[in-house]
Structure 1
Amino acid sequence: MDDELNALRRTRMRWNTPLSEAHAELLLDRMDLGAGHLADLGCGWGELLLRAVGRTPGLRGTGVDTDEVSLARGRAAARERGLESRVEWAEADAATWDGVAERVFCIGAAHAFGSTKAALEGLARVVPAGGRLLYGDGFWAAPPSEAAKEIFGPDMLTLPGLLDVAGAAGWRVLHLSAADQLEWDDFESTSRAGWEGWLRDHPADPRAADVREWLDRRLREYVRDYRGVLGLTYLVLGR
């Protein structure tokens, strides 16, 4: 797909993860935010980062991502909310960012490090002793089919396995929660909504067939292969 359509696909999404407003507020509470530095590694357009900075006096933020379209959306949102002086944006790979921050978000970005194990070990070098990490990652909530394993790869862990890896990397679990079914259904629906709207308005566009095929395949895979099978956990981790 071209850049125009790629940018359009996520426009109906609040953030690129299955997370409700209430759940997000709970996670921000558990992060014990205060004055200091918060880095969001693999931030996308940084909606959770902006909310954290907006509600916390004295907190400054850094959003790190390789997607320049998402970063542009984040910069625009920061300007609209009067946060441009407190949030900076870096077009960089989450795994290669060489900063340090007292509070860090890394949600759905383990792939940038290569694996869950590599992510949790790498993030231990970013968060100093006494800091906190909000880490979001997928896990098998039920035994996966071969089709599900093909979609998400062979390295997906169970939740107990993920917690074992976190402990081995030196992390303590301060909070654990997981996306519920409504959060997942809303996430999947909003991930398709931008293109569904475009397809309705542009049925004769030469790109319409490819968009329709992607939308149909995504819905089919979700309902048949990984709904209720793939979980997403949010861990607040300390060192």
Structure 2
Amino acid sequence: MLVWDDDPRSALVAPVAAEPPRAAVLLLHGGSSEGTGAVPWLSLAGARMRPFARAVERACEGQGLLVGSVRYRCRGWNGDREDPLRDALRALDELAVRAGDVPTVLVGHSMGGRAALRAGGHRLVQGVVGLAPWCPEGEPVTQLRGRRVVLLHGDRDRTTDPAASVDYAVRASAAGAEACTLLMPGGDHAMLRQAGSWHRQTGRIVSGLLGFAPLPTDVAGRLALNGRTP
């Protein structure tokens, strides 16, 4: 039996597994640009990711998938400290030690999306799903070479820029990734409008990225466009 202890010093939070997983998904919730205070044990940002975890579990049922999350030491990105990126990389290293080199997909929202994309070069990572990701101008993309990246962004998001996600996917594709952006009509940053569509689409995309099922047709078509929207 593979035991996942919930040590508060650990960056990886995952359940007890009856046997070593075949693949893994790590969820990264949102945060803020600055903030060195601890993340509350009960946070809205963390709660927002739970329906996504359930959707991924349903879409990948019976495939030996481990669904876990990244624990942040503090709530902000904090400039050059890049705190959530460091936490994501620590969690991936812990996953490798405990489960071996399992193919892994990162699913991150907002600040967590930025961290997931930046951590996408880790050897375990096979794909990244960014949910309304924070993609500042000039954000690096070369770490994503050879990975598949799908960004979902609401076209009514007023917190992070959907156009920045489109630009990021184009640059990542030029750098050797398979990347695309799927705009969610009427979608907001909190992913509350048409929430079920966000959850179901994410589950199907994760299953496709891990090879458990075909990718959704619209996503596969956009990946073939090399980052451009139709």
Q: For this structure pair, what is the TM-score category when the shorter chain's length is used for normalisation?
A: 0.3 to 0.5
Normalized per residue, which structure has more helix?
1
Higher relative contact order (CA 8 A, sep 6+): 1
Normalized against structure 1, the TM-score is what? 0.36
Bigger radius of gyration = 1
